[in-house]
Structure 1
Amino acid sequence: MSQIALPLESGDNLPSRIVVGAGNRSAVDALARPQDWPFRTAVLLGPPRSGKSLLARWFEAEGRGEAIDGAQDWDETELFHRWNRAQEGGRPLLLVADDAEWDIALPDLRSRLGGSLQLAIAPPDDAMVAELIAAHAEQRRLVLADGAASYLVPRLTRSYAAIERVVAEIDRISLERKAPATMSIWRDALDAVEGPEQARLL
């Protein structure tokens, strides 16, 4: 497991580091080598809260090219112009969009992006889930008692959004009760996010 420290102030409640694991390592490796991209363009897709925006910020901050986050919400003609500009100027273009939300209507753009490098963020494995729990807790300055990962990892669905939500819920309950984040709070947070059956598994 490795991490990327963001070389800028993250702001907007975003983590200051990117956890690199089984779910995103191939995408990270490709983003580090934009000179290898066909047509100097890559499309990065991934589920909500999977770190796509952080990767886009890192890509731009490292000076590797232009990144357009939330590309599915952009005017398609403008995106087509940006694709052309990447070919003419030689500056790589990264387009970031949510899974299953980008249905490209403009035929010229659809064909151009179809020939570009396609990157996807996959669900995290157990090791990455544990690292993400630690990263979200660190962001919130939340101290988790020993054994948190061992308890939470087998019970969490492999969803980046669910991992973030359960850490936020642990933090909320801990502050509300003015109590350390120990197993009873982990269980109640899982109950709220995943449902009581999942919280009591294993």
Structure 2
Amino acid sequence: MAGRVVRPRQLAFALSHTESLTRDNFLEGPSNETALALIDSWPDWPNRIMLLSGPEGSGKSHLATIWAEQAGARAISAHSLIDTMVPDTLVTGALVIEDLIPGTFDERALFHLMNMAREDEAYVLITARVAPASFAIPLRDLNSRLRAVPVVTVAAPDDQLFRALIVKLCSDRQMTVDESLVSYLATRIERSVAAARRVVAELDAESLRLRRPVTRALAVEVLRDSA
């Protein structure tokens, strides 16, 4: 008895794309207007060291990128900071420290950096998912120093901003979408930038693999398969 013929699954090549992180492409709304005002007000900050707090994908890195461009700042991930690097990281007088997560960074290196930044009158912008008040940091001097840093919170996007975000993420991938698709996604996925980014990437991949346009019908299939 002849077996059933199984057609080979088409492969989609992962094409590179660039997510725009310029000031002109930042989507402003009630959830991030205070944080954006902070970035736009530089160098007239209330403190030379500031911290942006918010959930993953809330736009902290986009804001930090905008500020880095304005201030000529270097950028470094918190977990890669070591003590011997501190003098070089502050050479331009401005620094972004990304994704400060308790237990994943060198506490003495960060304490050294904060002290040197104060002595050199350098600017430092730190991003973290939660405010330092909730951190458990054994190094007491660093703990008190971080708790004294002013925190500006970036919240999850509201409905209008979330819809605009979906359109932007699709546009960054050169995907043409209509209102029915945007409305469908906005009401069926978690309201976070991370979730929107993930679903848009899945839609893009399936569209390329199946050689189909990005439509509401395709989104229904993608969300059903990923459920």
TM range (shorter): 0.7 to 0.9
Structure 2 unaligned segments of length 5 or more: list them.
Answer: 1-15, 73-93
Q: Secondary structure of 2:110's partner?
A: helix
**SS of equivalent residue, structure 2 residue 157:** coil
1:36 is aligned to 2:36: no
Instruction: Tell me the TM-score normalized by structure 1.
Output: 0.79
Asked whether the equivalents of residues 19 and 169 of structure 2 are also in contact (C-alpha less than 8 Å), the reply is no
Aligned mates of 1:137, 1:42 — CA distance in 2: 32
Structure 1 residues 105 and 160, CA gap change in structure 2 (3 angstroms): farther
Match of residue 143 from structure 1: 176
- Mapping 1:44-193, distance limit 5 Å: 44-63=52-71, 65-72=94-101, 73-99=104-130, 103-193=136-226
Tell me if structure 2 keeps the 8 A contact 1:145–1:181. no
Identity value in percent = 32
Q: Report the secondary structure of 2:155's partner residue.
A: coil
Structure 1 window deviating more from structure 2 (89-98 vs 14-23): it is: 14-23
Q: CA 1:59–1:103 in structure 2 vs 1: closer, same or farther (change >3 Å)? A: farther
Q: 1:90, 1:192 → 2: CA distance?
A: 53
Aligned partner letter, 2:224: D
Provide the secondary structure at the position in 2 that maps to 1:156: coil
* SS, match of residue 57 in structure 2: coil
Distance 1:76 1:122 in 2: 27
Report the RMSD for the aligned CA atoms in angstroms.
2.4
Q: Aligned pair in 2 of structure 1 residues 45, 103: CA closer, same or farther (>3 Å)?
A: farther
Partner deviation per Cα, 1:36-62 (whole Å, 9 max, x = no partner)? 323x21121222222222222211110
- Tell me the CA shift for residue 108 of structure 1: 0.9
Cα drift, residue 132 of structure 1: 1.0
Comparing 146-155 with 134-143, greater Cα deviation is found at 146-155
Q: Comparing both chains, which one has the higher relative contact order based on Cα–Cα distances under 8 Å and sequence gaps of 6 or more? A: 2
Separation of aligned partners in 2, 1:69 and 1:173:
32
Aligned to 1:132, the other structure's residue is in SS state helix
Equivalent pairs, count: 183
Distance 1:192 1:55, change over 3 A: farther
SS of alignment partner, residue 27 of structure 2:
strand
Which deviations, in whole Å up to 9, do the C-alpha atoms of 1:6-62 show, x marking residues without a partner?
Answer: xxxxx9844343322222221111222343323x21121222222222222211110
Specify whether residues 112 and 192 from structure 1 end up closer, same or farther in structure 2 by C-alpha distance, changes over 3 A only: farther
CA separation of 1:103 and 1:23: change in aligned 2, threshold 3 A: farther
Alpha-carbon distance, 1:63 to partner: 0.8
Q: Which structure carries more helix by proportion?
A: 1
The question of whether the paired residues in 2 share the 8 Å contact of 1:23 and 1:125 is answered with yes
For structure 1, list consecutive stretches of 5 or more residues without a partner in the other structure.
Answer: 1-10, 196-202
Q: TM-score, normalised by structure 2?
A: 0.71
Max Rg structure:
2
- CA offset at residue 136 of structure 1? 0.8
